[in-house]
A and B are shown apart, each in its own frame.
Chain A
Amino acid sequence: MNTVLSRANSLFAFSLSVMAALTFGCFITTAFKDRSIPVDIHVSKVMIKNVDDFTGPRERSDLGFVTFDISANLQPIFDWNVKELFLYLTAEYSTKSNALNQVVLWDKIVLRGDNTKLNLKDVKSKYFFFDDGNGLRANKNITLTLSWNVVPNAGILPLVMGSGHKSLAFPETYETSKSY
């Protein structure tokens, strides 16, 4: 402890250890929090087509088109340990060939400091709603849920499902003439 450099060294190392303890404290205060909030989803338009799917093994697959509204208030989720939220809308259903199918239709990143009231209307899906086969036609029960991934400052990244879902049914026939 006799030269400036050795004093500076011990000072800096002590500060870093204290900083690590503070970060752990930040993690502990938010580790057991429930991050689920109620979510409202409405569906305005549902359409289905049977098209060539070049990514799958068969010639033609069902392609669904869903237009939806989402409204949710994300403010209670953001605390001092949340850096951003990754939201995604999932469609879940079962067909004759597969017991469980889950397709992500739309996602959004909400950073800390962005507007936390989500009020989206008439949103088209961002990603193609392809089925593995022809199981979407006349499928009575397709459930849409909004989930999110919480990205923290320190700690684990939980996957949380919102409370609130919407069931919809696809029509019996395909649309052939008009394009989307």
Chain B
Amino acid sequence: MLSAFKSIPTHMDYKGQKLAEQIFQGVILLSAVIGFIYGFTIQQFGWTVYIMLAGFTISCLLTLPPWPVYRKNPLNWQPAMPETSGENRDKPQEIQKKKKHK
């Protein structure tokens, strides 16, 4: 079951990460200000905490899953170089043999 979780893609690109960070910081600060003013008005600190928790949940939903808006600037990887499988197998073995003799 764990392999099913690990296979879900969760990456964002760099601009998406920056956007996600700005979004959650903004949401939490806004809910903190609203909560502080509301709690002070009705003189119950419990409501401040509840509004903060609501802001936390909203920002979790907005930034934790990799929505498509965070994948708009993907990196341009170089195309893969064609390689023969024989060369790759010989080289690591040679390196291992040299290390054992020393």
SS of B interface (majority): helix
Say whether B10 contacts A4, CB under 8 Å.
Answer: yes
Q: Choose one: A1, A18, A81; the contact of B17 (CB below 8 Å).
A: A1
Q: How many residues of A contact B (CB 8 A)?
A: 23
Which stretch in B59-67, B84-92, B93-101 binds the other chain?
A: B59-67
Say whether A19 contacts B43, CB under 8 Å.
Answer: no
Taken together as a complex, chains A and B put the C-alpha atoms of A153 and B59 apart, in Å, by: 27
Taken together as a complex, chains A and B put the C-alpha atoms of A4 and B64 apart, in Å, by: 6
Say whether B44 contacts A7, CB under 8 Å.
Answer: no
Chain A neighbourhood of B36, CB < 8 A = 22, 25-26
Chain B neighbourhood of A119, CB < 8 A = none
Say whether A14 contacts B40, CB under 8 Å.
Answer: no
Taken together as a complex, chains A and B put the C-alpha atoms of A80 and B41 apart, in Å, by: 9
Say whether A3 contacts B48, CB under 8 Å.
Answer: no
SS of A interface (majority): helix
> A11-B63, A153-B45 are known contacts. Are A3 and B20 too (CB-CB below 8 A)?
no
Say whether A8 contacts B48, CB under 8 Å.
Answer: no
Say whether A11 contacts B32, CB under 8 Å.
Answer: no
Taken together as a complex, chains A and B put the C-alpha atoms of A10 and B28 apart, in Å, by: 12
Q: Choose one: B10, B25, B44, B52; the contact of A22 (CB below 8 Å).
A: B52
B68 to chain A, nearest CB (A): 16
Taken together as a complex, chains A and B put the C-alpha atoms of A51 and B55 apart, in Å, by: 65
29 contacts between A and B (CB under 8 A): A1-B12, A1-B17, A2-B10, A2-B12, A2-B17, A3-B11, A4-B10, A7-B20, A8-B60, A10-B21, A11-B24, A11-B28, A11-B60, A11-B63, A12-B56, A14-B25, A14-B28, A15-B52, A15-B55, A22-B32, A22-B35, A22-B36, A26-B45, A78-B43, A80-B39, A80-B40, A80-B43, A80-B44, A80-B45
Q: 9 closest pairs, A vs B, by CB?
A: A80-B43, A1-B17, A4-B10, A80-B45, A18-B32, A15-B56, A11-B24, A153-B45, A79-B43
B→A interface (CB under 8 Å): 10-12, 17, 20-21, 24-25, 28-29, 32, 35-36, 39-40, 42-45, 48-49, 52, 55-56, 59-60, 63-65
A→B interface (CB under 8 Å): 1-4, 7-8, 10-12, 14-15, 18-19, 21-22, 25-26, 29, 78-81, 153
